[in-house]
Amino acid sequence: MTPHTDFVETARIYCDLIDHLDGADTVWLERLAKLLPRLHAAVAEMDQSKGSAELFSSEQDLDDRFELFSRLHMLLGEKDPYWLEFDVSSDGQLMTGSLADDLTDIFCELKAGLEMLESHPEKRSSALNRLCSSYKTHWGQHLMDAQRHLYELDTRNQLR
């Protein structure tokens, strides 16, 4: 399997997991905690030396994005917020993160990239380059933060 194929397949698995979440699934966070490192490894294997700095998410419908965030926020409940240990605002206050926000941003970037790959196969290289570029400038940080928070939840046996 090529690095591009592995990345695209892992991105599809991620998007499918998020697309089909419901309150009855009690192990989705465990599956997600195992999937995010695979996604990270797959994108790291790709050639990230070229590509535009454009994000796909600007093309997303904001209502759909907010609906996804709200659904994830509700499903996560008390597991959603986390402290960003080393991030302090300019006025000295500690900052917080949201797993729902991280997962939404990752999803929107990947979903838009996958849709471009499917609807315009002739633009495969361009779509993959944009995904790599947006990983570096945007969703990669969300991926790292989500992995860190899921690790913390796992160490406290709170993934279920």
Residue range 127-140, pLDDT digits in tens: 899 999 999 999 99
User: For residue 2, what pLDDT is reported?
Assistant: 78
Ordered by start, the domain boundaries in the chain are: 3-48+58-75+93-155
- Per-residue pLDDT, averaged over 87-98, amounts to 69
* Structural tokens at position 140: 């990669």
- Per-residue pLDDT, averaged over 35-41, amounts to 97
> Which parts of the chain fold into alpha helices (H)?
3-19, 28-44, 62-76, 99-119, 124-134, 140-155
Higher pLDDT, 89 or 25: 25
Reported as a pLDDT band with limits 50, 70 and 90, residue 92 is low
The pTM of this model reads: 0.88
- Per-residue pLDDT, averaged over 32-57, amounts to 79
Highest mean pLDDT among 44-48, 104-108, 123-127: 104-108
> For the chain, what's the residue count?
160
- 144: amino acid identity, one letter: M
Higher pLDDT, 53 or 7: 7
- Percent of the chain scored above 70 by pLDDT? 84
CATH code matching the domain that covers 3-48+58-75+93-155, chosen among 3.40.109.10, 2.30.36.70, 1.20.120.1550, 3.30.70.100: 1.20.120.1550
User: For residue 1, what pLDDT is reported?
Assistant: 67
Higher pLDDT, 33 or 56: 33
> Hey, is 81 helix, strand or coil?
strand
